[in-house]
Amino acid sequence: MSYDPAIALDFFKSAGKPSNVAKSAVIFSEKEAPGLFSRSKSKIYLLLAGEVNLLAAGTPIATVKLGEIFGELAAITQAPRTATAVAKTDCKLIALDDSELEAALAKKPAFALMLMSILIARLRETIARLTAAGALAKGDEWQEAVAFDPKRLTELVSGLSNDAPLYFQQGRQIMGEGQKAVLMYAVLKGRVAVSIGGRVVERLGPGGAFGEAALVDQAPRLATAVAETDCELQPITRTAFLALVKVSPQFAYSMLSSLAERLRFLTARL
C-alpha cells in the first residue's frame, strides 16, 4: 500500500487541528527526547502548506513537501529525535501527540496499515543495503520489546480466529527468510531468536511478536525465526491481523512501534 496524502489528511484531521509555523522556526531538534519540557512531545506531523527542511548535525538530509508526514519514528518509539526540523518557508501543519495519535488510529485504521507498509518498505531497503555492505555485526541486537500482554492478545485473537496455539521444540525453525508468509506469531511462552542473513538481531520472550511485515505487504519473509527454548506461540492469520488493526488501536500502535524500533536499529547501522 503506497502513501496516499488523502488518507493521511483524513487521519490527521480526525484528531488534530492545523497550526501555522513561521519561516525559520524550529519545529523539533535533533536528540530532543520526549518529556514535559520538550518542544516536540513525541508529535507526528503532516505538512499542509510550505516546506520543511530536515537536518542531521546541521547538514540538510531531506525536504518535507506538501502532504507528507514527518517525525513519525520518534513519535511512535518515544525515542530521541534523529534530526532537526526547520520551516524552510511559512508553513501550515497538523501535529498529533501520543494520545491524539491513538485516538486517530481508533477512527481511521487505514492509516495504520498505510504507515506499516511504508515502514516495511524502508525496512526491506535498509536490510538490503546492510546485507550488501556486510554491516550487521555479530552481537548486534535491538532491544527486546514486549509488544503485548500475552493473555490480552489471546483474548483478542480468540474472537477473530479459531487458530489454537502452536508448539515448537527448542532448535526448530518457525519461519525462514524468503519464505511466503501465511502467519505472524506472538510469543506466549519460551524464547525465539530472529536472524537476518544468519546474524541474530532480536530475541523475543512472552509478549513479543514477529512475522508481521510479510503479512502487511505480502512479500517474502524478511528474517528467520528459531525457537531458542521450547515455545508456545499464538498464530495470527492475515485476516485476523487486518481485523485486529481495525478493532484495536492498541494493537495497531504496538505493531507500528515494533516496526519503527526495528527500522531505527537498522538505520543506525548504515
For the chain, count helices (H), then strands (E).
Answer: 8, 16
In whole angstroms, give the CA distance from residue 215 to residue 211: 7
Cβ 209 vs Cβ 148: under 8 Å: yes
**Ordered domains of the chain (ranges, CATH):** 5-105 (2.60.120.10), 109-267 (2.60.120.10)
pLDDT category, 249, cuts 50, 70, 90?
A: confident
Its sign, for the CA torsion 27, 31, 33, 66, is positive
The pTM of this model reads 0.84
Phi-psi map region of 13: left, alpha, beta (phi>0 left; psi -120 to 50 alpha): alpha
pLDDT (tens digit per residue) in 170-180? 999 999 999 99
pLDDT (tens digit per residue) in 149-159? 667 777 777 76
pLDDT (tens digit per residue) in 26-84? 999 998 876 544 444 679 999 999 999 999 989 999 999 999 999 998 888 878 888 99
pLDDT (tens digit per residue) in 106-144? 999 999 999 999 999 988 898 888 888 777 665 565 555
